[in-house]
Structure 1
């Protein structure tokens, strides 16, 4: 019995087999390993795995074309050679008749921690090499609004997020952490490329032991760990900007703001001050005003403002805040609030977007680069903001606004998805189902029968990370892991590289795609870049075979120089930021010039349109799950063990439950104008009254797929969430919040069949 090293987005581990069972063990140096590792063993041979290439019967029978039967048609098993021949011919047809811009290669997802078998990278490299490019997406579902607004007003996203504040600084210097949306350790357990040590909870405990005061602003009490003694301010979801404005108002009228910092390092304060004090619109944004919006006590707001003005304060804004209507506003207003305190650029103070939202935020960067796969040159310029995929499919040729310019949705004929699940990430799933019916061909590489696979025309069985060799590495994790293969491929599954190599051969592009290398050859090639950088630094630089045999390599960590915000603060002219003014933009003339009603030239309170009504009186928070990464391995042991009666668990306040006759453990129906789903109720005072929380990631399981807006019996909240952009500026995802009613479900309980594979049907004419 030999443990072999491997890694995942939620932690490094090793695995071995005993009596036909795979056992995984966290890396011994990890002080706080994620329990999500418990989902991995089931991935090897679960019934939900895709065992062979499958083609939708209607596509085989009638050929490519729009078809509203996607998602409710049968599948025919087809041999590898035939399916690859057919797919290569279809790619060539679309390229030749419509151009490569008619192929959308979005493939958004977190398929593997490995740097070579990176699903997006493999797909994009193939499409660039074989057909000349593809229409693509920009930004992420996680941070779409922030990725656009931060560079406009503060600095590059990566610099502001990753090279700013470290957990060591918080533990050593911070007096108050004002955490809008919290810093849930379930979120910081995950990081792209792998995590060898989970340090976040330990750093928060160390800070609390030194005397740091944590203030959690948000409707869910467990968005900060219970053992750090945080003060909980359970505000109404989506009203953080109003609270920030009220804190800023108190600072301004009591003279607690740093006028010297605002004058030297910022632009636009006088314009914003007129709005803040009500001189421009007649509404003072004071504590009493905010109390009526946020549901918090006005005196408590004033006391908090005075506290954050005393000592070293860090303002953090969770990613969840900007996944909502006007999501740009809390991100921008958090910057302004921190600027008023004058501490941006100080160790452990100022502002950090998303600290605690991912494992690689708040850590020093490595001193050497990690392996990455080149994707080649995309000859297509057509793109969409990632969360606008249904809009693109439903409105080809229509115009849309994005970041100050007008663009046109491409006319997508072929949709190619590898390593992602839009039925997890996207909103208003009934609308997405209709949109997918508009394309000629939908291709998916999938290890398992997710809802995305069930809506595809061609489903190619892909290996999981456990069935491949790779290298796990991240720019902010000092341990690079040799990911040894732990299991043989399931059924006829192949890795994405093998599939694309075979397709590239059929399209005359094999050499351009493979460069003559097999998987092991690519791993050695990618590793060589890191090896050379290590040697140039005079650090140990073992060759590839030595690294592979050792199983891991510790990389040197760079100096904590504070990045651009520290350099900016030290600049004698206070104008060293890559913004239009070189300073922090409290008022942005550029954004004001876009003339977007839903994103003015300075942070503002913009009331949401999606608010409770008599019919749908509860606010739904659809946040990230604690038992899996997104929807990955929802069938795994840890995920399954935390369901109730096979359903995902929603939480609601005792008062809301009692008013509806709901007891702990009851199955309930969540419903609004877009759809409905079943879930199991957990009654708790850890959720603000008037709020129901249901995490994302339960596999979509419609009771009757032939109906419009069918009931999801498993508990996927995206049957309820709205598919609209944050604003015309960023067009980000707004899936964090919506409104619903919740009622006890007393009818016959339908079984959950999300993990049952489709039964193959007979070939047309066969």
Structure 2
């Protein structure tokens, strides 16, 4: 059976290619950072995919979607967005792209021989459709096999900067949460967008990011290049992925520390697409042949997904409920990301997939903590509400927020000059840096060379 990359004619849906969206964290939702994922309990208080108008959010801002016959047919930017993005129309593309992954799939050779299968056919599109139970059992079997044979440091779990909008269904942290419950992983440090700035800027201004901690991954992984920590988690610089696969155990320097590349046998990628954004594609294709098993969880047949052994179909952000901020740094509002439509084909939410894997690993309750999707969303909002009351901001209670307008706005604080100044506080009160000891003449000389 060829790769499941067809059109959506059987649903009467047509569209063009797009990518999974993301919405960065914001200061206004700082209280939403420390949480565990949800249990998708049927019947939970959630937005249903009935016809009408639905408020939600995306990487390109908040929007109101029009639903007809269970299908999202159009959308308009949130009316208070001062600079709505023309890219917002890509939301429809990502949902109804002809490249949506419809069903769980396994590379034919891998299905027959497992990790002993030849690897040259990766990327050729020779996949076989399997059931969800079969796919999940196969993933767990491989995770346990690699841990038992090679140890936790042989599994690389990654997304390389991509994640979905929403504080609950963040695929990166959900992956790490499941992996930490399993016993450990190797993941990455940093991303391609900020690059070296993520390492050098904290030494200069104190911190590169707002005071949002992000969702909990359940582990104790630390930034830097140290391998296994006490929790069994480890990280490498994101741009070293190919080097890591080609030259295991090779030493390197990173942010003032020294470490060796681990020897990776299994990689699990969620939402990212390294075969598009990583350098030297031919070298990357060859390096991937060192992997015994490659698992991809995504909504679209990306080049990376085509190179996988096991492919799990994930929903887009618009096929589930969540909560998020509007405004990357200003954090001007909290928006209810209500589910616009039901999941298409056999796609499942990232959380639902990882909850099922955790259950098979004997860690189901630890992963879900027994809470429903709406329980978690309510708790995040209530934590933000407590902060708002302390700062004398007006916010409605959760039921009024979720069942009513679906947006809780905040006043935007201006800097001394009348404009919002990023990192104004760190710049005024940063901690001493090792760079303070660099002679000013040397700094000037480096600037001239640059």
**1:121 aligned to 2:173?**
yes
**1:514 aligned to 2:358?**
no
Aligned to 1:9: 59
Deviations along 1:595-628, whole A, 9 cap, x unmatched?
xxxxx9944627xxxxxxxxxxxxxxxxxxxxxx
Structure 2 residues not aligned, in runs of 5+: 1-50, 221-230
Aligned to 2:321: 469
Report 1:19-38 matches (<5 A).
Answer: 20=71, 22-38=73-89
How far apart are 1:96 and its partner, in Å?
1.8
- SS of 2:258's equivalent in the other structure is strand
From 220, 223, 232, give the equivalent of 1:380: 232
Deviations along 1:165-211, whole A, 9 cap, x unmatched?
xxxxxxxxxxxxxxxxxxxxxxxxxxxxxxxxxxxxxxxxxxxxxxx
Aligned to 1:335: none
How far apart are 1:582 and its partner, in Å?
5.1
Report 1:499-648 matches (<5 A).
Answer: 499-549=353-403, 550-558=405-413, 560=415, 577-580=431-434, 586=440, 602-603=446-447, 605=449
| Preserved CA contact (<8 Å) 2:72 2:341 | no
- Which is higher, the Rg of structure 1 or of structure 2? 1
| Preserved CA contact (<8 Å) 1:155 1:578 | no
How far apart are 1:486 and its partner, in Å?
0.9
How far apart are 1:577 and its partner, in Å?
4.3
| Preserved CA contact (<8 Å) 1:68 1:434 | no
| Preserved CA contact (<8 Å) 2:65 2:72 | no
Aligned to 1:106: 158
Structure 1 residues not aligned, in runs of 5+: 163-364, 590-599, 607-766
Higher relative contact order (CA 8 A, sep 6+): 2
Aligned length: 381
Aligned to 1:405: 257
**In 2, Cα distance between equivalents of 1:421 and 1:557:** 35
| Preserved CA contact (<8 Å) 1:116 1:523 | yes
| Preserved CA contact (<8 Å) 1:120 1:418 | yes
| Preserved CA contact (<8 Å) 1:462 1:493 | yes
**In 2, Cα distance between equivalents of 1:149 and 1:567:** 14
Aligned to 1:82: 134
**In 1, Cα distance between equivalents of 2:275 and 2:144:** 28
| Preserved CA contact (<8 Å) 1:467 1:485 | yes
- SS of 1:64's equivalent in the other structure is helix
How far apart are 1:508 and its partner, in Å?
0.6
How far apart are 1:413 and its partner, in Å?
1.1
**In 1, Cα distance between equivalents of 2:304 and 2:274:** 7
How far apart are 1:415 and its partner, in Å?
0.4
**What TM-score do the two structures reach when normalised by structure 2?**
0.78
**In 2, Cα distance between equivalents of 1:381 and 1:601:** 40
**1:141 aligned to 2:204?**
no
Aligned to 1:451: 303
Aligned to 1:51: 102
Distance 1:601 1:145, change over 3 A: farther
| Preserved CA contact (<8 Å) 1:383 1:409 | no
**In 1, Cα distance between equivalents of 2:172 and 2:392:** 34
- SS of 1:477's equivalent in the other structure is coil
**In 1, Cα distance between equivalents of 2:73 and 2:397:** 30
Distance 1:15 1:85, change over 3 A: same
| Preserved CA contact (<8 Å) 1:579 1:585 | no
| Preserved CA contact (<8 Å) 1:109 1:421 | no
| Preserved CA contact (<8 Å) 2:161 2:192 | no
**In 2, Cα distance between equivalents of 1:158 and 1:69:** 42
- SS of 2:344's equivalent in the other structure is coil
From 206, 213, 228, give the equivalent of 1:156: 206
Q: Please give the root-mean-square deviation of Cα atoms over the aligned residues, in Å.
A: 2.7
How far apart are 1:79 and its partner, in Å?
0.4
